[in-house]
């Protein structure tokens, strides 16, 4: 990935669980007390905010569809997340979520493109060819590739079936590569 070509007209799409915060294996982050940033994420997002115009969080949240949590719980978590990132000088432009069950194959749910298309409706200047999707699962990478985005995979225990344009261990590692 050529970071030199990326300027402030670009957009960054970030998955949440496993990219921004610690993924709760076998469960769902249901309230602020369970939300824990991965190391150096707020600082990394502050760096990305200085490089691109928009940063969107796009996250599948089927815990809502299962009745385990509410959209209000999720809104509180996202407000907390955004406020903490802002204290480091970063900015999340908007958070989009898909509450449907995985089995529903709903248009909003990644790997489907609904959340990106909603972001483009809300921010018409978004050009997917000048966008980067960062995620930790195949569905995140497929989501980005379907729309012609550059893709970055955060390595986790998830099996890799789809290759991303770049694979890194964390947002901090992505930031360091981008800086150099």
Q: Are 16 and 59 in contact (CB under 8 A)?
A: yes
E strand residue ranges, the chain? 11-14, 54-60, 94-98, 131-135, 150-154, 166-168
| Identified catalytic residue from 17, 136, 138, 140 | 17
In the set 7, 15, 140, 163, the catalytic residue is 15
- 31 carries an active-site annotation: no
- The CB density around residue 62, as the number of other CB atoms within 10 Å, is 19
Contact 81, 59 (CB under 8 A): no
Q: Are 90 and 49 in contact (CB under 8 A)?
A: yes
Tell me whether residue 15 is one of the annotated catalytic residues: yes
Catalytic residues: 15, 17
């Amino acid at each position: 990935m050529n970071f030199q070509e990326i300027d402030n007209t670009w957009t960054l799409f970030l998955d949440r669980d496993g990219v921004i915060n610690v993924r709760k294996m076998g469960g769902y982050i249901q309230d602020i007390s369970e939300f824990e940033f991965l190391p150096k994420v707020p600082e990394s997002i502050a760096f990305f905010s200085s490089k691109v115009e928009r940063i969107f969080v796009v996250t599948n949240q089927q815990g809502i569809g299962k009745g385990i949590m509410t959209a209000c719980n999720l809104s509180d978590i996202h407000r907390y997340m955004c406020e903490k990132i802002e204290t480091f000088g970063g900015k999340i432009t908007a958070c989009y979520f898909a509450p449907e069950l995985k089995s529903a194959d709903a248009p909003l749910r990644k790997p489907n493109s609904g959340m990106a298309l909603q972001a483009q409706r809300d921010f018409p200047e978004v050009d997917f060819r000048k966008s980067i999707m960062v995620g930790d699962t195949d569905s995140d990478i497929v989501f980005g590739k379907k729309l012609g985005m550059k893709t970055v995979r955060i390595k986790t225990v998830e099996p890799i079936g789809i290759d991303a344009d770049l694979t890194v261990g964390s947002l901090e590692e992505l930031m360091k590569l981008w800086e150099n």
